[in-house]
Chain A
Amino acid sequence: MIAIARFRRPPRWATGKRIAFRILPAIGLALFADPAAAQLGGSIAVDSDYRLRGYSLTDDHPAVSAQLTYDHPSGFYIDLSALAELSRGDARFLGVIANAGYAKRLSPHLTIDAGVLRSQIRSAGRYSPPYEYTELYAGAFAGPVTARIYYSPDYRYYRQSTLYGELEAGFEPISAWRVSGHLGMLVYLNSASIYDAGTAHKDWRISITRQFGNFEIHTALSGGGPTHYEGLWVHKRTALTGGASVSF
């Protein structure tokens, strides 16, 4: 269904990978220097489909994911997330996403955050390129609203630079229930892949979460567009997904 044009295999240490593999371990070492006051947490989630930015990372199949977070009181943090696809009754490991950064509370209702993310997720579909990229991100939490911008020098294609901006907002209409919304837009900054510079992909999501202490269930309606680009499928259609997670 999808044919990839102009896909070149990146050299072993492309720019984005080099950034990620230098910064991530450095932050990790700094964090573990004073473990007494740090907090380690995690969660395991099962979802009917793992969708990010309007794409299904698991080719519309159910997914199981695990997250680990290590927070230092100084504001430095590191996260690790692993993803597996559940298909035909078997689990297939797809890869990991790691990110590290620094967050600071400027006021009771404003927190800023910046860091670097590396995604090493292989494609679940036969024809699409892997979700391998590095991103530098910066954002702010202002009360219930979160705004963040990401720059990638190698977004899924060698030397394909992109900017992704997202806006999220959430509220609790009643206790333990949360409704949140997400709007995002990815802009291709050059023409190193099948996309022309300036091409934009938009995505959105509305989700409802019910929390029971450490356990929560959630459902989301998400989509994105355009669904076609130069005759190729680039986005899945709108999808309703559901899942559950437990934190520890």
Chain B
Amino acid sequence: MIPWRILRWFFAVAVVAAPLAFSQALATQGNSASALPSRQILVMLKVPPQHFRPGAAYGGRYGDAAQLATRRRTAESVAEKNGLTVVDGWPMPLLGVDCYVMKLPDGISIDDAVQKASRDPRVAWSEPMQLYQAQGGGGARAPDPLFPIEPAALRWRLADLHRFATGRGVSVAIIDSKIQVSHPDLSGHFIADKNFLSPEPRTAENHGTAVAGIIGAAADNGIGIAGIAPAAQLMALRACWQVASRAAASPPTLCESLSIARALQYAIDHNADVINLSLSGPPGPLLSKLLSIAIARNATVVTAFDPTLPKGGFPASLPGVIAVADQSLPNLPANVYGAPGRDIPTTQPGGKWYLVNGTSYSVAHVSGLVALVRERRSGARLALARSRMGAIDACATLLGPAHSCDCHCPLSQTTAMGNR
């Protein structure tokens, strides 16, 4: 039996420690999604490699309490030395760093703060906290959206493509705003539903729900639309938020570097085959490094090309990603793929459907197509085929170029055989 004196001692330690611990836990939840990170920078702290430590309960993990406490204290020391305030932090084991959001006081420019923090020997690098904008355009309500009005139904011969592949066994990570995973056209298609921003909204958001519908809405279920890859396994990773706006018919959707990085890390850790990033913004080393790891691990990253940004914006400018734009946009560069992006019927929060426009939805089309290709030719090098007009030829992409005729031959043959 444990003597009362020992128990008293134990509880004394617990009582002293618990408030410290809880205040620490709460301190890491301060970065509100609604606060624009204009006066914040990201500081990547060097993390010593994990190593053996003797102890009865030691589990040898990257983020154990002892290591996290040390690193948090180091972050606060770096912040104090550089006149900054720690707002939030998150381990990035894929990169061997801890990513901390630090707030700047008035009177210091972001560039100066980044340079000063980068010179600290405890810091791997620092970069501005960037904003990324989802590339969705205006939305308009349609009373009865159906498969026949999907541009992909006609231009991509989607029903025929589904005879060859539906995305079965392929996982698609959708890094976007909050998706209504319970939508009747999407329910049961998700293998993950994670939020990387706080606070989490009670209701689903437009952009993410629309993108998810184009990629993976159920086919042949008698309602709504058919996704490009209706059998794909979807990951709903919320890293963006819908800006509250009463005036705008289509409120903008914004994302920040750290939340995208956290979502990317989740997607990489959970072996997502396709990563859909229907967004664009300025380049940054944190996201570049994570995307490079994803590509090196054979994930296909599909992202939005924004002609208004230098080099089409980031991540579209990163080598190895598939940059996509609305095929109706003029003068697209040769390395950018065009896909349907106008009058797309898709899922809307509240169990509804509506029509959307914008490059974001072109990206979703291509992510779905890549899922079809990866189901059919798992492990093969992905090559997107183009039509004479420069837009993606979905048929040739999925089936490969035929020797004696264009790729509509095998489609027609299969269709004819199916009709006999």
List chain A positions with a Cβ less than 8 A from chain B.
36-37, 39-48, 50-52, 57, 62-63, 65, 67, 69, 71-73, 75, 77, 79, 81, 86, 88-89, 97, 99, 101, 103-105, 108-109, 111, 113, 115, 117, 119, 137, 139, 141, 144, 146, 148, 168, 170, 178, 180, 207, 209, 211-216, 218, 220, 241, 243-248
Contact = CB atoms under 8 A, between A and B. Distances in A.
A215 B66 contact: no
A35 to B, nearest CB: 10
Interface residues of B, number: 50
B6 A246 contact: no
B22 A73 contact: no
B146 interface: no
B248 interface: no
B2 A50 contact: no
A216 B65 contact: yes
B66 A41 contact: yes
Given A41-B69, A215-B18, A170 B61 contact: yes
Given A48-B2, A108-B94, A212-B18, A43 B13 contact: no
A103 B48 contact: yes
A51 B95 CA distance: 34
Contact of A214 (B20, B51, B95, B122): B20
A214 B69 contact: yes
A201 to B, nearest CB: 17
> Nearest 10 CB-CB pairs, A to B?
A215-B21, A41-B70, A213-B24, A213-B25, A246-B17, A71-B48, A103-B49, A247-B69, A103-B51, A37-B121
A109 B14 CA distance: 35
A139 B52 contact: yes
Contacts of A117: 54
B295 to A, nearest CB: 13
B23 interface: yes
Nearest to B20: A214
Nearest to A90: B5
A69 B69 contact: no
Contacts of B178: none
A104 B96 CA distance: 11
B97 to A, nearest CB: 11
Contacts of B73: 41, 248
Interface of B: 2-3, 5-6, 9-10, 13-14, 16-18, 20-26, 28, 46, 48-57, 59-61, 64-71, 73-74, 93-96, 121-122, 293
B49 A111 contact: yes
A213 B66 contact: no
Contacts of B48: 39, 71-73, 75, 77, 103
A88 B9 CA distance: 13
A40 B54 contact: no
A213 B49 contact: no
Contacts of B122: 36-37, 39, 73
Given A40-B70, A41-B70, A77-B51, A209 B59 contact: yes
B64 to A, nearest CB: 8
A148 B53 CA distance: 12
14 contacts: A37-B46, A69-B70, A72-B48, A73-B48, A108-B93, A113-B49, A170-B59, A207-B59, A212-B22, A213-B25, A214-B17, A214-B20, A216-B65, A247-B68
